[in-house]
Structure 1
Amino acid sequence: MRLTPADVHNVAFSKPPIGKRGYNEDEVDQFLDFVEAELARLLEENTELKQRVEDLEGDLSQARSSSTPAPREEEAPAPTQAFSAAPAPAYSEPAAPAAPAAPVGEDHHVRAAKVLSLAQDTADRLTANATTESEALLSDARGRADAMIGDARSKSEAMLTDARQRSEAILADSQTRAETTTRQAQEKADALQADAERKHTEIMGTINQQRSVLEGRIEQLKTFEREYRTRLKTYLESQLEELQQRGSAAPVDNARSGGDAFSSDPGNGGFTNSGGFSKPSN
């Protein structure tokens, strides 16, 4: 496949994705314009050389056709013999006397052949040079394009690797922070629960202690009530028996004596301590 200026002009490189680096688009376009102009110049020069070769071939053909002599039939072999002997002039001396007419046609043919050969050599050399130069330019352009693509690929891979490493680092940091926050919250919850259980235990202990104290106080009051009732009953029975023994001889004295022994005492449940019992202390 031949490379033409149109191919160079119409070539289009894909732009790198957003966020990735690439070569300067203006520099790439400038280099492609240079390659296009140089390739067009070489092709134009090659075309001109081909045209010159065609013109020289036409001139040679015209010279050959115009320089063909019209001798007699017996003199026709002389030019061929003279042309074949032209490279070695030493052997042309024994030629026939009619030979002086032959060098004119021979020299013309030789010069035309030399011109054609020189033109052909020049055209071949220029064509080869143009081909070599165009191939060198094309190879250089391909090399630069491959280098640009390789560099862009390397940079994109490096950026992708860096982005992946950063995302992994951010994810790891987020996980670490989440675990730390969860652990701290769990520790606070455990501390609050332990404190609540401790306070509950303390409160329940205080309540149980107070209940025990109150139960003990209640038992004391119950005991006092039983003892008080018993002593009061005993006292009343003894007083009644004493009254019965005294009889009705001295009702006034008995009433007075009974009133003194069983007098009212607001601080001792309404009775005196003459009976031998008292309230328990608080």
Structure 2
Amino acid sequence: MPLTPLDIHNKEFGRSFRGYDEDEVNEFLDLVIKDYEALIRENKELQNQALALQEKLNHFSNIEETLSKTIIVAQEAADEVKNNAKKEAQLIVKEAEKNADRIINESLSKSRKVSLEVDELKKQASIYRARFRTLVEAQLDLLGQEGWDTLDAGPAAGAGELSRG
């Protein structure tokens, strides 16, 4: 059990012949008590400070641990967002490629259709020209026949005779 200032104060020494001066011993004991009490107070204050510092250390350790966990969670969230963005970008690119392929295929299909229509129109124009040529040639042949000469003279002569009469 540690020595207390009260123990020092209550300590009594036995008397002997040729012993120490009692007043000097008491004065010295008073100084020892005073210094011992100061040391005890200082020790108590230091223990309180150590306890307060330990509480702060624990608090900051908890904050540090929380921050570490938060940083890890934030990093994981950032990685997840990054991965999701990459996946979404890949999906967008694939969708754009599909749309581009579809547009190209539709354009090729329309181009083929227009080409077929142009070919069909060329055929129809050629057929029309051939029919028209045949018609014109037939009309020219008809105009070239001999019966037209008599028709030219006939109606004009008949009209003249009618007017005399």
Equivalent pairs counted in the alignment come to 142
| Greater Rg over alpha carbons, structure | 1
RMSD (CA atoms): 3.8
SS in 1 for 2:72: helix
Give the aligned partner of residue 117 of structure 1.
21
Q: CA deviation at 1:121?
A: 5.3
- Pick the aligned partner of 1:229 from 125, 129, 132: 132
Asked if residue 202 in structure 1 is aligned to residue 105 in structure 2, the reply is yes
- Structure 2 stretches lacking a partner, 5+ long: 12-17, 152-165
What amino acid is the match of 2:76?
Answer: D
Give the aligned partner of residue 213 of structure 1.
116
Give the aligned partner of residue 15 of structure 2.
none
- Structure 1 stretches lacking a partner, 5+ long: 1-37, 50-113, 249-282
What amino acid is the match of 2:21?
Answer: S
- Pick the aligned partner of 2:147 from 244, 258, 262: 244
Q: Could you tell me how far apart the structure 2 residues matched to 1:122 and 1:227 are?
A: 152
Give the aligned partner of residue 90 of structure 1.
none
SS in 2 for 1:218: helix
Q: CA deviation at 1:198?
A: 1.3
- Pick the aligned partner of 1:180 from 83, 89, 95: 83
Deviations 1:42-66 (A, max 9, x none): 8xx58xx9xxxxxxxxxxxxxxxxx
Give the aligned partner of residue 157 of structure 2.
none
What amino acid is the match of 2:138?
Answer: Y
SS in 1 for 2:134: helix
Aligned-pair identity in percent equals: 5
Q: CA deviation at 1:216?
A: 0.5
Q: TM-score, normalised by structure 1?
A: 0.40
Deviations 1:216-257 (A, max 9, x none): 000101100111111223334445555639x99xxxxxxxxx
What amino acid is the match of 1:117?
Answer: D
Q: CA deviation at 1:115?
A: 10
Q: Could you tell me how far apart the structure 1 residues matched to 2:50 and 2:114 are?
A: 94
Asked if residue 134 in structure 1 is aligned to residue 37 in structure 2, the reply is yes
Q: TM-score, normalised by structure 2?
A: 0.63
What amino acid is the match of 2:89?
Answer: Q
Q: Could you tell me how far apart the structure 2 residues matched to 1:212 and 1:133 are?
A: 115
Runs of at least 4 residues off by over 3 Å: 114-118, 235-245
Deviations 1:25-47 (A, max 9, x none): xxxxxxxxxxxxx77x68xx58x
Deviations 1:116-142 (A, max 9, x none): 934x25524643553464245335414
Q: Could you tell me how far apart the structure 2 residues matched to 1:216 and 1:209 are?
A: 10
Q: CA deviation at 1:194?
A: 1.6
